């Protein structure tokens, strides 16, 4: 019986010894997983703490330019002008086109203030060197400082001269009557003295360079060199132009304005 008890105790000790490593490996394995998880979390925290800063914002967008104008034409627009009447002829030798009003706003640049309106210009189109009687409209950028007409002031901000001298008579190149063409006019500062009535015929460049170039009421045909709009658009233009904004007209055929 003593031998049997010693054998049983020996067997129990052997079995206990056999199980101990298994239990230790299991415990060791769980600890390793926790260590790896802990290390992964620490790495994640480290990455989060050293994440790249957000990208710096890019430079602000350049102020918008008037569509269709090339560098030479844009350079001719004074820096202090905030209103532009842009007349774009359909071709060098064509007497039709469109006009669009533009406003320059701080920071954003030029933006359209109207839809394109139909216009007529000189019978023979456009020229870089206007002379008396060539029946072409001068290309360039010109100030708009003075207005007037046969009819009472419709609410113009520019100085407005109502005078019977704005009476139009005769007929145009298509035989259309000119009556009413000068009911409303805005003088284009080509070969004239700014700050005077459009009826002032002083010609600083000389008589041979022509003059009397106006924006006036359309008579359903081309002009002798002026730009003409519908009566409703002329009234709208007169109410829009503001001398405080140094308005200009930018005029010419599309190709020339793109220079």
Distance (Å, rounded) from C-alpha 118 to C-alpha 163? 27
Residue 28 has what pLDDT? 38
Q: Which two tokens stand for residue 51?
A: 């994440």
Mean pLDDT (the chain, rounded): 85
Number of H helices, E strands in the chain: 4, 13
Distance (Å, rounded) from C-alpha 27 to C-alpha 33? 10
End-to-end CA distance of the chain: 122
Q: In the chain, what's the furthest Cα-to-Cα distance?
A: 150
Pick the closest to residue 83 from 71, 99, 72 (CA basis).
Answer: 99
Residue 250 has what pLDDT? 98
Q: What averages of pLDDT result for each successive group of 10 residues across the chain (259 residues)? A: 40 36 36 46 48 64 93 97 98 98 96 98 98 98 98 98 98 96 98 98 97 98 98 98 98 98
Look at residue 207 and give its three-state secondary structure: helix
- Alpha-carbon torsion, ordered 192, 238, 84, 120, to 10 deg: -80
**Sequence-ordered list of residues with C-beta below 8 angstroms from that of 164, at least 6 positions apart, any chain:** 150
Distance (Å, rounded) from C-alpha 145 to C-alpha 109? 22
Distance (Å, rounded) from C-alpha 219 to C-alpha 97? 15
Distance (Å, rounded) from C-alpha 180 to C-alpha 77? 32
**What are the E-state strand segments in 1-157?**
83-89, 96-105, 109-112, 117-120, 126-127, 137-138, 140-143, 146-149
Q: Model pTM? A: 0.78
- Asked if residues 168 and 179 have their Cβ atoms less than 8 Å apart, the reply is yes
Residue 32 has what pLDDT? 45
Residue 50 has what pLDDT? 52
Distance (Å, rounded) from C-alpha 199 to C-alpha 166? 8
DSSP state of 66: P
């Amino acid at each position: 019986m003593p031998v049997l008890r010693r054998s049983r105790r020996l067997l129990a000790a052997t079995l206990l010894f056999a199980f101990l490593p298994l239990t230790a490996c299991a415990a060791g394995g769980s600890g390793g997983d926790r260590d790896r998880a802990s290390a992964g979390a620490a790495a994640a925290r480290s990455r989060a703490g050293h994440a790249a800063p957000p990208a710096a914002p890019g430079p602000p967008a350049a102020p918008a330019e008037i569509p269709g104008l090339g560098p030479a034409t844009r350079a001719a627009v004074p820096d202090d002008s905030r209103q532009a009447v842009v007349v774009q002829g359909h071709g060098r030798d064509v007497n039709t086109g469109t006009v669009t009003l533009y406003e320059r706003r701080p920071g954003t640049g030029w933006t359209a203030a109207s839809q394109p309106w139909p216009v007529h210009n000189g019978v023979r189109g456009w020229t870089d060197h206007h002379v008396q009687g060539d029946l072409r409209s001068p290309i360039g950028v010109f100030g708009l400082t003075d207005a007037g007409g046969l009819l009472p002031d419709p609410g113009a901000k520019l100085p407005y001269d109502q005078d019977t001298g704005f009476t139009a008579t005769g007929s145009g190149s298509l035989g259309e009557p000119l009556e009413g063409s000068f009911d409303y006019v805005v003088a284009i500062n080509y070969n004239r003295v700014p700050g005077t009535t459009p009826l002032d015929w002083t010609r600083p460049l000389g008589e041979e360079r022509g003059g009397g170039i106006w924006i006036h009421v359309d008579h359903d045909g081309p002009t002798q060199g002026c730009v003409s709009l519908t009566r409703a658009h002329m009234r709208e233009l007169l109410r829009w132009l503001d001398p405080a904004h140094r308005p200009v007209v930018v005029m010419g055929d599309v190709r020339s304005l793109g220079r």
